[in-house]
Structure 1
Amino acid sequence: MNDLHALLTLSTVHFIALLSPGPDFALVVQNASRYGRKTGFYIALGLSFGILTHSILSMTGVSYLIHLHPTLFSLVRFAGGSYLLYLGLIALYGTIRYWHSSNTQANMSVQSATSSRRIAFTRGYMTNLLNPKALVFFVSLLSSLIPSDMSLPSKGAALVILWSLSLGWFGLLAWLLSTAKLQQKLHKVAKYIDGLCGLLFTSLGTLILYMSII
């Protein structure tokens, strides 16, 4: 009964956290609105596996050790900040290129390359995995809600819950943003969404990089 209560609490807290806007949310919005449902789904799949990886590392104590070690945690923050900065610069470059290029075919080829399944999955996975806030969140969440004496099946259920809720939420978001009517409207403002997401990723990446070296 205690295990069931812990799992229900874990589900509630994690779902509330998923609803909070952040890099994961922005990544799904940016890609699903510009590249459509398939790309949005693979972004969501990558994010959910990033969350699953964080959950496993936290449950096994690896993330806790990284968090306790200042040098290792700084390296994680540096890698995460660098990757977010990279995503931001790509988005800003695409926005600038859109405004200045009259070559539609070139823009279409960039879109085709960016929207491949492998790139979309990797982008989602790395964005979540390298997010130092995600590492701290899951260390805190699982250490407080998953007791060390919890049964192995219950711990497995916790991992399934965290992964499935993540995939369900981000997948639903990608689906809602890629309906036919909404896609027509979003394509008209895609350049603005790219620009805003680019500014967000660049700002967050720069901030995390700064925090990792001070």
Structure 2
Amino acid sequence: MDPVLAFVSIAAAIAVGAASPGPSFVLVARTSIAVSRRAGLATALGMGIGGVFFASLALLGLHALLSQVGWLYALLKLAGGTYLLYLAYRIWSGATAPLEVADEGRTAPAGLMRPLLFGLLTQLTNPKTALVYGSIFAALMPAEPPVWLFVILPPAIFLIETSWYAIVATAFSAGRPRAAYLRSKRWVDRAAAAAIGGLGVRLMSDTVSRP
């Protein structure tokens, strides 16, 4: 495959994957609504850094490794499922806690390192993301890729992942979604926790059913 066409194809495939609903989308949306736009953007940044990590591993042959070492993929799925259950517990347990709201309906400022790390960990503990990256790179990379392709892909993927989740953060931190969340915080948080927890349970049960 032509290297330019390969780059465009990989970027498009990663963009479609990033836009697919999953725990990353739920976390960014919920953080943007419940905390602040800045916190949501910090979470988006964490997602982008995680994307660079997986892109780098994919360039080093992640897909081939996971295909050959079945126990490693199973371990990744168990770790990812455990983290998602922990995240769901945190959100569920805080569903009834009131938010400290500042003027004009904005929540009080919070540190940005914590949402960034939550975004990064959510991305890194999702083994399906790892497998998707590995599969895309294995299928679309040229047999003899030029050096520039290795150089340009990680920052391009960072921009794709971060930009998409920044759009999500901006949209869900707008006035109307925030006001709706504040009115129904308990149920929105519990719905988000149930969605994330369900993904965690599914991930772990899939590991047990497919050793």
2-side partners of 1:64 and 1:163: how far apart? 23
Amino acid at match of 1:177: F
Q: The residue matched to 1:116 in structure 2 has which SS?
A: coil
Q: Which residue does the alignment assign to 2:85? A: 85
- Look up the equivalent residue of 1:108 and give its one-letter code: E
Aligned counterparts of 1:128 and 1:180: Cα–Cα separation in 2: 27
Runs of 4+ in 1 over 6 A off after TM superposition: none
| Residue 105 (structure 2) pairs with residue 116 (structure 1) | no
Residue 146 of structure 1 contacts residue 155 of structure 1 at CA under 8 Å; is this kept in 2? no
Report the AA paired with residue 53 of structure 1. F
Does residue 1:208 correspond to 2:203, yes or no? yes
Q: Aligned-residue CA RMSD in angstroms?
A: 2.2
Q: Which residue is equivalent to 1:60?
A: 60
Q: CA deviation at 1:162?
A: 1.2
TM-score by length of 1: 0.87
Question: Would you say the 8 A contact 2:39–2:115 is kept in 1?
Answer: yes
For structure 2, the 5+ residue unaligned runs are 102-106
- 1:159 corresponds, among 154, 158, 164, to 154
Whole-angstrom CA distance in 2 between matches of 1:89 and 1:39 = 20
Corresponding residue number in structure 1 for 2:136 = 141
> Deviation at 1:112?
6.9
Q: Does 1:51 align with 2:43?
A: no
Instruction: Check whether the contact 2:2–2:142 (CA below 8 A) recurs between aligned residues.
Output: no
Trace 1:90-105 onto structure 2 (pairs within 5 A).
90-95=90-95, 97-98=96-97, 104=98
Who is 1:26 aligned against? 26
| Deviation of the 1:181 alpha carbon | 4.3
Greater per-residue helix proportion: 1
Match of 1:187 in 2: 182
Structure 1: gaps spanning 5 or more residues: 99-103
Cα displacement (A) at 1:177: 1.6
1:164 aligned partner, one-letter code: L
TM-score, normalising length: structure 2? 0.88
Measure, in 2, the Cα distance between the counterparts of 1:124 and 1:196: 19
> Per-residue CA shift, 1:92-113, capped at 9, x if unaligned?
1111x33xxxxx5xx539x879
Picking from 142, 149, 163, the partner of 1:168 is 163
Task: Provide the identity percentage.
Answer: 22
Instruction: Check conservation: 2:92, 2:190, Cα contact below 8 A.
Output: yes
Give, as a single letter, the amino acid of the residue that structure 2 aligns with 1:92. W
Offset of 1:148 from its aligned partner? 4.0
- Deviation of the 1:199 alpha carbon: 0.1
Q: 1:67 to 1:193 in 2, by over 3 A?
A: farther
Cα distance in 1 for partners of 2:67, 2:111 equals 34
Q: CA deviation at 1:188?
A: 2.1
Aligned residue in 2 for 1:40: 40
The answer for the alignment partner of 2:104 in structure 1 is none
In structure 2, the CA distance between the partners of 1:44 and 1:116, relative to structure 1 (3 Å rule), is same
